[in-house]
Amino acid sequence: MFPKPIEKSSVLVQTSYRAAVPILLIIWLLPIIAVAMTSVRGAADLNSGNYWGLPTEWQILENYTAVFKNTPIVRYILNSFLVTIPTVIGALTLSCLAGFALVVYRFKLNLLVFFMFVGGNFVPFQILMVPVRNLSLSLGLYDTVTGLVLFHIAFQTGFCTFFMRNFVRDLPRELVEAARVEGASEFLIFWKVVLPLVRPALAALSVLIFTFIWNDYFWATVLIQGEHAMPVTGGLKSLNGQWVSQWQLVSAGSIVAAMPPVIVFFLMQKQFIAGLTMGATKG
């Protein structure tokens, strides 16, 4: 283990290490703690310039009720779910099929197709922006949840296929061969042999894609204009514009908006990190 395990150091070092971790953690999380604190402040605190100290009055209920009552945040959150969940399902479905094909079959263009997905995944969004916006306009999908979902599915399929393909590659090949010898059709092999084995990859990908899409801001601003379809990231930006000096309300909105991916992260931490760090240990 590196660095040297702290248990082998003197008591003094150990104690100071144990004290340093939480202190550094608080400093590190200060920006997030600040939002949380501001979201429960009263307006008086902000008027008197108490932005960073302890709140003098706690207005948890007032602020959060105000956010829910006076702003379309419920609509925004709902839109975010309507965008995120179909995207996860769509991208996972397409990439399972594609990842399977790229591993199990050897055909001429195999590596080329694979590289298309990997390379496309890294292009700057801006090179796609104008054509994708035009395409959505001409399909009548501009400013709709469906239009945004279709783009997200397509783009995320690149990364997901990369991920699925590498995961399937590491499964034992004999399983597929054995099934074939027993006369199983290719579709049956996919459905009954491979699909049950890629569940861990599906779990990792779904939490990752959920978080990525939930936090997407660029495409929300490019493809959506109105409140009726705006996800919460774009919604927060417009709330911030409307309530320039009411930090406590914008903070409460931010906390609400940040909740779903935070909950998903804490519930499925292991899968999330496994997905994010794929490839960090070998290669």
Partner 1 sequence: MQSIGKSPPKASWWSRRQLDIVPWIFLAPAIVVFAIYVIAPIFQSMSLSLYDWDGLGQPSYIGLDNYRELYDDADFYVALKNNVIWLFGFLLAVPIGLAIALFLNQNVFGIRAAKSMFFFPFVISQVVIGLVFSWFYDPTNGLLFHTLHFFGINDTVAVLSSEDWVTYGIVIAGLYPQIAYCMILYLTGLNNVRADLIEAARLEGAKGWTMLWRIVLPQLRPATFIALVVTVIGSLRSFDMISIMTSGGPYGSSRVLAYYMYEKALSEYGYRMGYGTAIATILFFVMLVYIVFILRRIYQQEKDM
15-34 residues near partner 1, rule: CB under 8 A = 17-18, 21-22, 24-25, 28-32, 34
Structure tokens at 156: 């995320």
Q: What is the spatial distance between Cα 76 and Cα 214, in angstroms, rounded to a whole number?
A: 11
Shortest Å, Cβ 271 to partner 1: 13
Shortest Å, Cβ 58 to partner 1: 20
Shortest Å, Cβ 105 to partner 1: 4
Q: Give the footprint of partner 1 on residues 246-265 (CB under 8 A).
A: 247, 250, 254, 257-258, 261-262, 265
Q: Give the footprint of partner 1 on residues 213-232 (CB under 8 A).
A: 214-215, 217-218, 221-222, 232
Which range touches partner 1 (CB under 8 A), out of 3-11, 54-62, 63-71, 197-205?
3-11
Shortest Å, Cβ 60 to partner 1: 18
What b-and-e string marks burial along 194-230, b requiring 16 or more CB atoms within 10 Å of the CB? beeebeebbbbbbbbbbbbbbbbeebbebbbeeeebb
Of the residues 78, 89, 135, 171, which one makes contact with partner 1 according to CB under 8 A: 135
- Give the residue among 122, 114, 72 at the shortest CA–CA distance from 232: 72
Q: Give the footprint of partner 1 on residues 164-193 (CB under 8 A).
A: 169, 173, 176-177, 180, 186, 190
Nearer to partner 1, 102 or 229 (CB): 102
Q: At what angle do helices 60-70 and 73-104 cross, to 10 degrees?
A: 80
Of the residues 16, 19, 44, 52, which one makes contact with partner 1 according to CB under 8 A: 52
| CA distances from residue 282 to 1, 32, 71, 197, 279 in whole angstroms, order as listed | 18, 33, 48, 21, 6
If one counts every other C-beta atom within 10 angstroms of the C-beta of residue 65, the result is: 12
Shortest Å, Cβ 52 to partner 1: 5
Q: Give the footprint of partner 1 on residues 56-95 (CB under 8 A).
A: 93-95
SS3 58: strand
242 binds partner 1 (CB under 8 A): no
Shortest Å, Cβ 73 to partner 1: 13
Shortest Å, Cβ 158 to partner 1: 6
Q: Give the footprint of partner 1 on residues 104-133 (CB under 8 A).
A: 104-107, 110-111, 113, 115-120, 122-132
- Give the residue among 194, 199, 197, 203 at the shortest CA–CA distance from 88: 203
Of the residues 12, 23, 49, 226, which one makes contact with partner 1 according to CB under 8 A: 49
Q: Give the footprint of partner 1 on residues 144-163 (CB under 8 A).
A: 150-151, 153-155, 157-158, 161
Q: Are 62 and 69 in contact (CB under 8 A)?
A: no
**3 upstream amide cis, omega within 30 of 0:** yes
Structure tokens at 229: 């379809």
> 278 CB contacts (<8 Å, ≥6 apart)?
163, 166, 204
Shortest Å, Cβ 98 to partner 1: 4
